[in-house]
Structure 1
Amino acid sequence: MDRLLVAAFSFPAVVFTFLLVVVAGYWLLVALGVSSVDAVGAADPEAFGLGRVPLSVALSMVTVLAWVTSMAGDLVLGSAEPSPLFPGVAVLVVALAAAVIGTRFTIPVLNALLPARLDLVGTDCVVRTGRVDGSFGAAEVTTADGRTVLVQVRQAGERPLRTGATARIAEYDRRGGFFWITA
C-alpha cells in the first residue's frame, strides 16, 4: 500500500493523480446536480470525432487510462534505473499515448451504446434533477429498444419542473448539446 501511495505522488503519476482528483470532483458535482455532463466543452462532440460521447467523458477516460498506465509503469520501472528522470519521462509519454489510443478504441463502443439524439425527439422523459429550467436539468428517457438514458434537458418559459415530473422531448439543441422539453 505504501508503494502505491509513493507511486501515485511521484513523477510521472503525480501529474495524472492531480487530474484524476479534478475529474473525480467534476463527476461528484455532476452526480449532485450542480454541473452537467456537457459542461466541459460547449462544442458539439461530433466536431472532435467523438460521435455522441460527451467531451467530458472522453477526457475523463484519457485521464483514468493515463493514470493507470503511469502507475503501472512507475511500479514496474520506477526502481529499475538509477536516474528517475529517464523512466519517468518515458512512462509519461507511453501513458499519454496508451490513454489516447485506448480512448479512441473505446469511443465507437460507447457510441453504439448511446442512442442517436434525434431518435429521442417526441419521446416522454422523467425529470431526475431537482429542477429543470432554461439553464439546468436532466431527465431519464427510455429508448425504442428499451434502454434507459440520462440526458441534459432545458425548459423555456414555464414553471420549472421538479424531480419525477413527466415531460415530452420537443427538440434537440445541437449547439447547446441538450434537449428542450415541454410539460
Structure 2
Amino acid sequence: MSEFLQAVLGFPTILFSFLLVIVVAYWVIALTGLLDLDDVDASWLGLAGAPAGVTLSIVITLGWLLSLVGGQLVSAVHLQIAVLIVALAGGWLGARLLVVPLRRLYPDERGPSRHDFVGRHCVIRTGQVTADFGQAEVTAADGSSAVVQVRTTGDDRLARGDNALIFDYSSSGEFFLVMPYERDH
C-alpha cells in the first residue's frame, strides 16, 4: 500500500491526484442533487457535445491513470515531465474518443416547451377571458400557431379579438397567464 501511495503522491501523478479529489467531490455533490449537471459545454476544450463536468472528469481520470503508469516506468526527472505532457494529451485524446458516443445523450437543441410562449403576443379566441376560463391563439417563433388555455389575474377583462401578452405559465393548471397588450403597428 505504501508503494501505491508513494506513486500517487509522486511527480507527475500528484498533480492529477489533486484534480481527481476535486472530480470525486464534484460527483458526490452532483449525485446529492446540490449541483446541476447541465453545466457549460466543453467546446472550449475541443470536446463539444457533453457538459464540461463530464468531459473534465474523463480528461482528469485518464490523465491520472496515464501519469500513474508512466511515473512508474520512468525515473528521470526530464522523462517525468514528458510523462506529464503525454498524460495530458492522452487524457484529452481519450476524452475526445469517449465524448463522441456521449453526444447522443446531450442533444444540441432542446425540444419545444410551453415556456417558449411566455413573453409572446396572443389574440383572445373565446368570448371572454376570466380567472377560470379562456383561450387564445399564439404564434410560435417558427411561425406555427396554437390555441392555448389562458387566464387573467386581478381585474383585467379580455374579450374575443383582444390582444394580450402571455407573462407566465402555470404548470399545475396547464394554462398561461395573460394581460391586456396594445401592439404597436
TM-score by length of 1: 0.56
Structure 1 residue 105, shift from structure 2 partner: 1.5
> Closer, same or farther in 2 for the Cα pair 1:7/1:105, shift >3 Å?
same
Give the 3-state SS of the residue equivalent to 2:10 in structure 1: coil
How many residue pairs match? The answer is 120
1:90 aligns with 2:87: no
Give the letter for the 1:93 counterpart. Answer: I
Q: Is the 8 A contact 2:49 2:100 kept in 1?
A: no
> Closer, same or farther in 2 for the Cα pair 1:66/1:49, shift >3 Å?
closer
* Match of residue 57 from structure 1: 54
Q: CA RMSD in A?
A: 2.9
Name the CA distance, whole Å, in 2 between partners of 1:49 and 1:71.
25
Deviations 1:97-152, CA, capped at 9 Å, x for gaps? 1111111122212113x153546546xxxxxxxxxxxxxxxxxxxxxxxxxxxxxx
Name the CA distance, whole Å, in 2 between partners of 1:110 and 1:53.
6
Unaligned runs of 5+ in 1: 79-83, 123-155, 162-167, 169-183
Q: How do 1:25-174 and structure 2 match up within 5 A?
A: 25-39=25-39, 42=40, 44-45=41-42, 49-78=46-75, 84-112=76-104, 114=105, 116=107, 118=109, 120-121=111-112
Structure 1 residue 96, shift from structure 2 partner: 0.5
> Closer, same or farther in 2 for the Cα pair 1:70/1:49, shift >3 Å?
closer
Q: Is the 8 A contact 2:42 2:55 kept in 1?
A: no
TM-score by length of 2: 0.55
> Closer, same or farther in 2 for the Cα pair 1:74/1:25, shift >3 Å?
same
Deviations 1:131-182, CA, capped at 9 Å, x for gaps? xxxxxxxxxxxxxxxxxxxxxxxxx8869x9xxxxxx9xxxxxxxxxxxxxx
* Match of residue 9 from structure 1: 9
Structure with the higher helix share, 1 or 2: 1
Name the CA distance, whole Å, in 2 between partners of 1:111 and 1:8.
32
Unaligned runs of 5+ in 2: 114-167, 175-185
Report percent identity of matched pairs. 32
> Closer, same or farther in 2 for the Cα pair 1:119/1:65, shift >3 Å?
same
Give the 3-state SS of the residue equivalent to 1:15 in structure 2: helix
Q: Which is bigger in relative contact order (C-alpha 8 A, separation at least 6)?
A: 1
Q: Which runs of 4+ in 1 moved over 6 A?
A: 156-159
